[in-house]
Amino acid sequence: MILEPLIMDKLIAKVPIIQGGMGIGISLANLAGTVAKEGGIGILSTAQIGYQEELFEKSPMRANMEAIKIQFDRAKKIAEGGIIGFNIMAATLHYDRYVKRCVEVGADVIISGAGLPINLPELVVGSQTKIAPIVSSDKAAKVLLGLWKKRYNKTADFVVVEGPKAGGHLGFKAETIEEDIEGMDDELKKIIATVNSFADEFGKQIPVIFAGGVFDRSDIDHYIALGCSGVQMATRFVATEECDAPESFKQAYINAKEEDITLIKSPVGMPGRAIKNLFTERIKNKQIPIEKCRNCLSFKHCDRKTIPYCISETLLNAVTNNPENALVFAGTNAFKIQKQTTVHEIFKELTLNS
């Protein structure tokens, strides 16, 4: 089977693979730009995107606003005309400002999850930026697309369905995760039917992209056979030469065994999947005091008096300190990564006709 291009109106990706956004500091310009150059869609994560800027410690928000343009311009240059977008968590403090800034710099696409991005359509009015929500259930898809239709007479340009095998924050309950894994294909079919109904109403195509546990070509073929137009992959791109993460972070993936992939409780209020280490053991029954707040999450999602630890601090430690004592998000298949490779080699493997 030949992989067909991913078409979103006039925006066309030659290869139907989106590189998932990974914050903090994992998917920046080098990784996103290289993926886009190969024909996929490269995604920058806005989560503390400016952590390397001199201004960050004094004013994280200003540093992030500046870095959005810096990283986007760098990625576009590497991409040589390829598609570059942003992943913005709906739980982000000043979410509106982040979306508007990404539109301002020329984002091709914005993908938004970690909560329902209810007001995303009004934030991109007048732009060419394509928008996609991340949903994990048919209920969420119906609610969000219904709200967008009612409030804005607008629908998604594409939809990312994130399954329970994904890394990072999950839209599932930890206690039912195994059942959710077993039933995901059936849920995906329901979501596709829902999305198609909105596509018919608006007289347009709305591609559905599956994310979560997609690792090799057989996975891609499986989800396309179910009705998807493409896939989103994040974990697979971490241990590449082009990934923006430090070598110590990449090595944590290479060294991970299947039993090392675990679920943790995130301050965002969702379960998360990460690589087991000293930090994940430490937070099981202990609250870690916040030394410095960087105002990353909305107050609705972060009660500074009760959260178990600071999500920004622990993710920053993973890329600036020792990842053994930090949060290292990873998907269920991270253990399959045995060595460092390149983005080109991964695309070569994934695009071989099957």
* Domain layout of the chain by residue ranges: 6-244+338-350, 247-336
Instruction: Judge whether residue 218 has pLDDT over 60.
Output: yes
pLDDT, residue 298, reads 60
- Check residue 74 and give its pLDDT: 98
Stretch among 171-180, 214-223, 326-335 having the lowest mean pLDDT: 171-180
Homologous superfamily of 6-244+338-350: Aldolase class I (3.20.20.70)
Position 284 scores a pLDDT of 80
* pLDDT digits 0-9 by tens, 290-344: 776 666 666 565 666 667 777 778 888 888 877 888 989 999 999 999 999 999 9
Q: Which segments of the chain are extended strands (E)?
A: 6-8, 11-13, 17-19, 41-45, 83-89, 109-113, 130-135, 159-162, 168-169, 208-211, 230-233, 261-265, 271-275
Given this model, what pLDDT does residue 297 score?
64
| 54 has pLDDT over 70 | yes
pLDDT of 57 reads: 86
**Residue pLDDT, tens place only, 67-106:** 999 999 999 999 999 999 999 998 888 899 999 999 999 9
The structure's pTM equals: 0.93
Say which amino acid occupies 65.
M
Neighbours of 61 (CB within 10 A): 17
Contact of 43 with 21, CB cutoff 8 Å = yes
Return the pLDDT at 302.
60
The two structure tokens encoding residue 228: 């998807």
**Residue 234 to residue 346: CA distance in whole angstroms:** 12
- Mean pLDDT confidence for 199-221: 97
Query: Quick one: pLDDT at residue 294?
Result: 63
| Nearest CA-CA partner of 242 in 20, 21, 28 | 28
pLDDT digits (tens, 9 = 90+) for 244-279: 999 999 999 999 999 999 998 887 777 889 999 988
Pair of tokens at residue 180: 């959710």
Q: What is the pLDDT of residue 304?
A: 65
Predicted confidence at residue 50, as pLDDT, reads 93
Q: What is the pLDDT of residue 295?
A: 65
